[in-house]
Every structure is written in C-alpha cells, then in structure tokens.
Structure 1
Amino acid sequence: MAHRSHPERFAARYRVPMSDSHVFVTLGDITHLECDAWMLPTDSNYSIRPAWRTAVPGLTDEVIARSKVEGFGAGAIKSTPIVDWPTTSPLPVLSAVPPKGLRGPDDLVELGEAVAEFIRVSERSTRARPQERRAKRLFAMPEFGSAGGGGALKKGEILDVLLSQARVAASEHDVDVVIVLRDERTFALAQQLRKSMNGQWSTLTPNQREVIERLAELARSGKLVPFMGAGVSVSAGGPTWPDLIAKLADGVRMTEAQTISLNSPGRSALDQAAYLREAYRREYGDVSAFGNAVADAVSTDRYGLAPALLASLRTEQAITLNYDTQFETASVDVEDPRTIIPADGSQGGVSDKWLLKLHGSIKDPKTIVLTRDDYLGYNANREALSAIVKANLITHHLLFVGFGLADDHFHQIVHDVRKAIPTSESNKLGTALTMKADDLDQALWGEQLDLVVMGSADDQREAGRQLEIFLDAVLAHATDGHSYLLHESFESSLTASQDQLRRKLMQFRDTLDEQDREDASWPVIERLFQELGG
C-alpha cells in the first residue's frame, strides 16, 4: 500500500503568515544557476562528494576547514555558510542532511528542519551581499535526503517536505526558493505534487491563469516556441541596453561632449552602437575589437531562472535575439541539447531540436547584429533565417519573453506574415509577456499578439520576478509525464489510485511470455512501459 506524508504537519511548526514568496521547481545544474545562495549537502563530518568539488572550483579542504563551526558535528547546527566566498558568486551553504536516510516520521521532521535552517542561515548570511537583479533573494536547493536507510524509496515524502517547508520558511524570511532537480522522474512527480497543493502561484491573476493553461496545452502538443529577448538574461547579469552601451563606451576614449551626445535621450539605440563600433575601429584599427567587446559585455558565468524554466519545457524549437549562451547551457543541463542555427561552432553534436539565434552569438562575434548597418543588411544576408521565423509564426504559437516588441527586424517579419495569413482573436500569431502595460503596444500588436502584462512601470524588478513565476506555472502545467509510476524508487509515493493502477500494469506485464513479446505490437507496449518507468 502506498503511503503519503502530510506536509501541513510540518508547516504547522512555523506559524507565519503567507507572503508572496514563491518556491520554484526546475530541471538544471544548481552550480550553473544564478542565485544568492545554494545548499551544499554534507554530513556532520563536513564530507563533500567529489562531484561538488569538481563542479565548484574553490571548495578546497582549507576553505571547508575555515568554515567549520562549533555544534555542527553534534547536530545542534545544521547549516553554515562557506566563509570568505566571493560576493560575485552564489554563496554555498553547508547543510547537514539526515545521515542515515529516512526511516520514519522523525526523520522527515529532521529533514524539514534542515530545509528551514538552510533558508534562515542563507537569508542572514547574504544580507550584506549586493541585491540588484531580483526583487527578492533567491536560494537554491537540490533534492537531498534520499540516500541510504530506505530514503530512496520515499521520494514522494521527501518532495512533500521539501516543497512545504521551503514555502513556509521562504514566507517567514521574505525570499524565494528554487528546487533544482536533475532526475526527470523526480521532476515529474514534484510537478504533480505542486499542482495538488493549495495556494500555488497565488500572485497570478485569473487572466494570467487562463493564458497559462492555453500555453501549457500548446507546449504539450509541441506547438509552443519560446522567442527570447534580452530581459530573459538580466537576472543572471546580462546587461540592459543602457548597461551595454555604458560598458562598450568604457572601452574607448571619448570626450565629455561625445559621451553626453551618445547618451542623449533622442539618440537611436542603433546609432549609439554604430558610433561605438566606429570608435573601436579608429582606436584599435579593426572592427573585430567591437564584436569582441560586445561578447565580453554580455557573457555570463551562469544562467538565470527564466532560461532554466524555458529550457525545462523541452520544446522542439526556440528562437532568441540574445547573443549570450544562457539558454544553450541550460538546455544541456536539462539533457535537451540544441543545434544552433546558424552554426557557431559551440555544439559538439547535432540535435533534432534547434535554437535559432537571429542576432548572432558571442561564440562568433562577427555574426552579432547590433548597429543600423547590421539591420539594413540583415535581409540580404539572412533571408533563410527570417524564413524559419515566418514559418513558425504560421504553423506554431510563439511565446515572446523578455523584450518590448520594439525590434525592427521583428517588425519586418510579423509584417510579412500578417500579409500572408489573416489573424483574428482566436488565431493570433503568439503571446507576448510584457513587463508593463503599454497602450501603444496594445494598439499596434493587440490584433496579432495576446499581450499579457507581468507588472507595472513602477517596479520592473518585481515584474521580472512575476515573469519567472508565470513561466514556473506554465512549466508545471505543461509537465504531464508520469515516468515515476512504475519505477520502484517511487512506489511509496503513489496515491491509492496510482498504486492500484501500478499493480494492475505490473501484473499484466508479468503475464506476458516470450511469444507475446515476439508480436509486432510489442515494441509499442514496451515503449509505453519504459515511459512509465517500468
């Protein structure tokens, strides 16, 4: 018989009012995700698995020794930060997980306490660190507590506790938490659990929830194509346009008058870039210096939450105007690598799934589209790329994320498609997630795109955070896999009806003999069992 834990029993230990704090769930690599702090699992002896040391340079024995505190080994303290860690990198927080796995309710309570203490210690330890990109601090946790002592057979109970305790502690400290998973079965189960919990995605409006259901259905049917702009990369350190211009201007000598003219309110962004490219050519004798400077300015060490969530959707196709590689890296981490179009030499192999980089890549700086000349020459040089976008607009539903619909090339593509096919309220080209309400955007694009506003002009950081919550909901509702159903590690996590179905399917499989398996239909049945974890 399957057993289910009761997370409210643990949540009751922390009687705090619910805030708008949020717990995200994504696939990915926690060491590649931009966040304020992350949980580094250990034990009372400060043992750290070799994989963590390999993935995170700097986790030396000397660093661990300096971070030791009295009471950690005895269990009085469950979390402590790595000391003197660079403020430019997410802070690792050593967290002692239950040492003998999970054997009963007391171990689940201990697990919940470890989650709560990690969040409390992380909030205290990051107060003096810069917080510029998100409206709330973000703390990341891997799945943990399932090794040894039968813990691996209680994944559902573990996820219940992780989700519920993270939510309570996040509310208490007014922070956000993301649980980063590597295993697809655990991820599928986590999303099913979240959808059954009350109060998830409470900050979303009824209209946003309706859009989420439509987008999730499109994702499940293979019709959704993310179209990403610069806003997707900002939370991981990607520059806004003014930031990019400022960084590029720092690389060349300019008079005060030139600087004032460059940044004048009426100056076109394309002309700003054109002036700077010419300045780089004059100073360095080669326009390639400008492309290299752009690549350096937009490069990031980690990817943000939005690229991770979009990559976890595992869509067949994706399009971006961004030069950076955040989405590509996240796609590799969710085991869904992409073929890059046009090829930039970065991928090791060819995938059936692709990412179209319309404006070039930092992997090949000469492909970057940034100045007015670049835009004017785009149609002549890249008609094939534009044709791919136009075909997707006709046959798929594009989800525009992270830009303000002001790109000249985008205008040209939509104009061509609008002439080719009629649009109506029930047949729009795509959905655009905008950071603020804009009457002009609505007038220009309302007939072609479903515009969904994330926030207000008063707080763009909070609007960006609401965008992440929106994408988190799309991902959860688009995840309909049940690859955990027949897998032995998840048996104790099933509901009564799931457990009954599992037993019947297993009984059916056990009755099959060699003759049955030689039938032409067997590969189809076998594939179904594999998809369900059998």
Structure 2
Amino acid sequence: MSGHVFVVGADLTRLTCDDVLVPTGRTLRVAASWRDLLPADLVAEEDHEGVCVDLAWSGDERVLAVPGEGPRQAWLLDTVDDCGRGLDWLLDGAREALAAVARREVTEPVHGRARRLVGLPALGTGWGGAAGRRGDLLQQLLPVLREAADEHGFDVALVLRGPSDLAAAQRIRRGEDTGWDLPDTLRTLAEQLGERARRGQLALFIGAGVSAAAGLPTWEQLLGELAGRSGLDEDLRAGLAQLPPQDSAALLARELGRDRLQEFVQDRFGPGPYALAHALIADLPVQEFVTTNYDPLVELAAADIGRELSVLPYDEARPGKPWLLKLHGDAAHPESVVLTREEYLQLGDSRAALAGVLHSLLLTRHVLFVGTSMLDDDLIRIAHQVRSAVSGPGREPRHRTGTVLALREDAARSRLWEQDVETVAMSRGSTPPAEAARRLEVLLDLIGCLSTPPTGYLLDPAYRGMLDADERDLAEALQQVAARLPEGAATTSAAAEVGALLRRLGHGRSAGRRDGADASDGPADAASEPRDDRLQSQRPG
C-alpha cells in the first residue's frame, strides 16, 4: 500500500507527525531551531546558533534515533559533506534514514491518522552538502521520497519554509504529473479549485474536523469533556445526549459556571502543534478565511511561512493582507466563545456583522468548506439568507456558491444543500473515516500544487539551474531592473510596486538566506541545517 509525498510550508517542530528527520554533522551539532525536539538531558552545549547533542556515532552510520518519550520520534541524519561527495551521498543518507524509520514499529499513528507521517526538511541546503544547489536537490530528492513512500507505505511531508523553495518544488511536481492517488473526479475538482485560487476567487471555511487531526475535540467530544468536569450525576449526564448540542452546552455552562467554562476553553484550545491539513490550507494563495473553531492553529501555520493573518474581529483588517474571521469566538478571547443556545441566537443579533462577512463571501467568492458537516445552525441560517437574497421570480438560477469536501457520501445531505453548494465525498461505502481524511489531505496537497504561482523562484540564484533559456534571459533582464531601482525605493510608489514584484519573483532571497532559511522566513528556520562542522565548537567528551 503506497504512501504519499506531501510538499508543504510549515515549521517541522510544530507540525503533527510521527517521525522527524533532523540534519546534523559528525559533531552532532544541530541548528538552534531544532531545540524543541531534543530532550533536555541530551543537550550537552547550547548557544544562540546551535545545540550539541550528547550522543555518539557508531562507526560510519549516518542515522541516530534520539532517545526520549513523546508522540514524535526524532532522528539525526548526517548531511554535512566535508569531502565533496555530492548529492548522491546526500540522497543515500535520506534513503538510509527513511529505511531506519520504517524499521520502527508504530501500532497507531498520532491522533488516529490512517498512515504514519514522516517529516523532513530540504536536506543539506543550509549548512549541509547541497548548499547553493537547492534546485538540483529538490529535483532529485522528490523521486527518492516517493520511492520510500511506495516501499514502506508511510506518508512523507517535505517541509519547506521559503517561497522560492515551495514554488520550485511545486513546479517540479506539476511537470511530473504523478504521485496523487486520486480518482479523476477529484483531480478535475483540484484543477478547478486551483484555478479559482490563482485568480483570487476562492475563500476557505474551516470546520472542527480540521483541528481534530491535531488532537482537538469535535463538538461531541468537547461536550463529553465538559460533562466529565461538571460533577453531574450519571442520569443527568446520560440525558445530555438526548438534548440538542447547544442546550447540552447551556446546561453544562450553568453547572460549571461561566468562568470555569472560559478557563477550560482557553486552556484546551490554546496554541499547540498543528495538523498537516492546517499547513496545507495556510499555504493556499487565499486571502479570506472563516472558521467556527476556537483554536489558533491556522494562524500559527500561516505565520510559520511568513503569512500574518489578521484575526477578525479582534484585529484590524489591512488592505491587501489575508485575514481569518473567528465566527464563533477565539480561545485567546474566551469571553467571545459561542457555545450555548443563547449565544448562538445572539449571532443573529449582536454578532450579525460577523455573519455578514460570510454572506459577502458567498455572494462574491467561491467558498471551499473543509472539516464541517454543514449541520451548524449558523451556516444553515446564513446559506438560507443568501439564497433568499439572490433568488426570486424571473431571476436566472445562479451558480453554486461553494464546494463542501465531505469525508463520506451522504446523498440526502447533498440533495438538501444542492441549491447552494456542491458536496464532494472523499469516500464511499465502508472506507474508514481516517482513510477518507487522508484522501482529503492528498486533495488539498494537489490543490496547493496547482495553485502555487510558478514564478516564485525566477530571480533566486539557487534555482537558476531550473530555468530554461527563455526564463534565464528574462531573469537577467529583471535583475538589471532590480539593479537600477533607486535607494529608498519604498518611498516612491512606482518603484515600490516594482520592488514588491521583484521580491515575489525571488529577488534578494538567497543573499539573506541563512541556516537553510529564506531571509523572509522570520524566526529561525526549523527546516535548517547545521553549518560546516569545522566552524562550530566540538561536542564535549
């Protein structure tokens, strides 16, 4: 049973997965950004640039399992090429590491995922053996990862942080047109949604199913956890299941008290590791996001690739910048959380402005619904209001306003919503829910691949080898334009526009790249590599 290779922008220290490959060298020094994956008792020496791991190689091996407890197994992989052995040596190390990962028995992937997920950075492109050859590495590494996924049956996430890296990797995958085990109907859907995203016509609605993959509770599970804290006797707890969810929540809120309820929500839905789906969604070239979730995982995933989302209604929306509307409140503002029947009713009153944002998107965008069953009262009300506004005697039938990606086929629910949205099921019959959720991830991966602008690395010297003759001529002409931009270009509107375009095409990225990261990546890159061991202090002992 073959696995899948995902390409995603993320921070590997925060991405939920089973195994993580950490680049190092013979001195076992790793970049400081990997520190969170290492047990404290294995840190022998530390400074702001790196950490020495208190382990030792045995002979010529290149892979070491990091001892410790926890949901993720870290592996150290030697990627520093002191002897000029080239990319073949680096790729052999990747094969050796993935084979070692496969030998570790995993009875159940993290959070019930259908397959193990193995995360790794673009090995060797920071301080390692592929520095300055990022394009060559990606072209040769992707087939190696696919071979390993096919052979071992696990999924692989190639995690990249720089815009040039993502654009180049997606161009390579588009050129091969392989690696997506999806039926033709879903491939066609991915092409349509990718085109909408490229044109700025797509918006995202994110439901609780997305965050469940990061270990957060669904609505029913949340009520169960609250009931466990409430102190209600068994008869009352059994009766909760017979009430509508909002009424169950109202009773629990009364028993717990509003302060305890808010404290629980703030703690349970606070910052933490995000799921692969969060990262895939945050990578999409979409400007408008709406969610009924309380957690901050989408905005964390976006921030890790340099996309700062304004969270509405708490932040101010900025022209030209992406935003995320928290329709049912935010755990960081627990007083805003919508949970009980009374709070739901207020959405049609004091919170009507928030609903109006989704109204607007359904009228002006194509909304992609992910991780929702479309049973939420607010969604039903909003869809009905939009339908009422656009339908009437003598009016032409309008196109559907969105697409719902459902895990399983539900003919009755699809028929119920067919006037408003198209419902597309990931599975039919007896397909396990976890496998259907994995297929949804693969679909999101393909949408991301098809919607990523293909020019994001055009002016990045690290990818010059990927350009054809016409592209090289164009890149040289644009570099001349960049050289002629006046000092203080940001103060001149025309020059600022040209400068912004050149940056989107990759100008200036390699010059600022350090530790395998693009200068625009912000914080230290968790996909980074240790620099040449000879420049670092040796591990004690």
TM-score, scaled relative to structure 1: 0.85
How far is the alpha carbon of 1:516 from its aligned partner?
12
How far is the alpha carbon of 1:60 from its aligned partner?
4.1
- Check if 1:122 corresponds to 2:91: no
1:88-487 equivalences under 5 Å are 89-100=71-82, 103=84, 107-125=86-104, 127=106, 131-147=110-126, 151-201=130-180, 203-263=181-241, 266-281=242-257, 287-299=258-270, 301-343=272-314, 352-422=321-391, 427-456=399-428, 458=430, 459-487=432-460
**SS, match of residue 250 in structure 1:** helix
Structure 1: which amino acid aligns with 2:151?
Answer: E
Alpha carbons 2:63, 2:96 under 8 Å: kept: yes
Closer, same or farther: CA 43–370 of 1 in aligned 2, 3 Å: same
Match of 1:46 in 2: 28
Alpha carbons 2:279, 2:301 under 8 Å: kept: yes
Q: Which moved more, 1:34-43 or 1:452-461?
A: 452-461
Structure 2: which amino acid aligns with 1:53?
Answer: R
Structure 1: which amino acid aligns with 2:476?
Answer: M
How far is the alpha carbon of 1:523 from its aligned partner?
6.4
Alpha carbons 1:227, 1:400 under 8 Å: kept: yes
Structure 2: which amino acid aligns with 1:68?
Answer: L
Percent identity for Structure 1 against Structure 2: 30
Closer, same or farther: CA 329–56 of 1 in aligned 2, 3 Å: farther
1:82 pairs, out of 66, 75, 83, with 66
Q: Which structure 1 segments of 5+ residues have no match?
A: 1-18, 282-286
Closer, same or farther: CA 164–375 of 1 in aligned 2, 3 Å: same
State the distance in 1 between where 2:309 and 2:214 align. 21
Structure 2: which amino acid aligns with 1:451?
Answer: T
Closer, same or farther: CA 108–411 of 1 in aligned 2, 3 Å: same
Alpha carbons 1:36, 1:126 under 8 Å: kept: no
How far is the alpha carbon of 1:296 from its aligned partner?
2.8
State the distance in 1 between where 2:110 and 2:495 align. 56
How far is the alpha carbon of 1:491 from its aligned partner?
1.5
Q: Which moved more, 1:27-36 or 1:415-424?
A: 415-424
How far is the alpha carbon of 1:476 from its aligned partner?
0.5
Structure 1: which amino acid aligns with 2:228?
Answer: D
Closer, same or farther: CA 383–62 of 1 in aligned 2, 3 Å: same
Deviations 1:378-437 (A, max 9, x none): 211101111111011101110000010000000010101001114988711101100111
Alpha carbons 2:370, 2:404 under 8 Å: kept: yes
State the distance in 1 between where 2:95 and 2:435 align. 24
**SS, match of residue 258 in structure 1:** helix
How far is the alpha carbon of 1:117 from its aligned partner?
2.3
State the distance in 2 between where 1:44 and 1:152 align. 17
Higher relative contact order (CA 8 A, sep 6+): 2
Closer, same or farther: CA 289–406 of 1 in aligned 2, 3 Å: same
Alpha carbons 2:17, 2:110 under 8 Å: kept: no
State the distance in 1 between where 2:19 and 2:493 align. 53
Alpha carbons 1:41, 1:95 under 8 Å: kept: yes
Q: Which moved more, 1:405-414 or 1:417-426?
A: 417-426
Closer, same or farther: CA 213–130 of 1 in aligned 2, 3 Å: closer
**SS, match of residue 213 in structure 1:** helix
State the distance in 2 between where 1:171 and 1:243 align. 35
Deviations 1:44-64 (A, max 9, x none): 221112232268673742599
How far is the alpha carbon of 1:198 from its aligned partner?
4.2
How far is the alpha carbon of 1:69 from its aligned partner?
5.2
Closer, same or farther: CA 169–150 of 1 in aligned 2, 3 Å: closer
Deviations 1:281-318 (A, max 9, x none): 2xxxxx12112223333345211011101111141110
TM-score, scaled relative to structure 2: 0.84
Deviations 1:219-262 (A, max 9, x none): 11111111000001111111122321221122121222222222
Q: Which structure 2 segments of 5+ residues have no match?
A: 46-50, 508-541
Alpha carbons 2:458, 2:475 under 8 Å: kept: no
Closer, same or farther: CA 210–247 of 1 in aligned 2, 3 Å: same
1:24-35 equivalences under 5 Å are 24-35=6-17
May I ask how many residue pairs the two structures share in their alignment? 495
Match of 2:43 in 1: 61
Alpha carbons 1:67, 1:83 under 8 Å: kept: no
Structure 2: which amino acid aligns with 1:358?
Answer: L
How far is the alpha carbon of 1:137 from its aligned partner?
0.6
Structure 1: which amino acid aligns with 2:384?
Answer: H
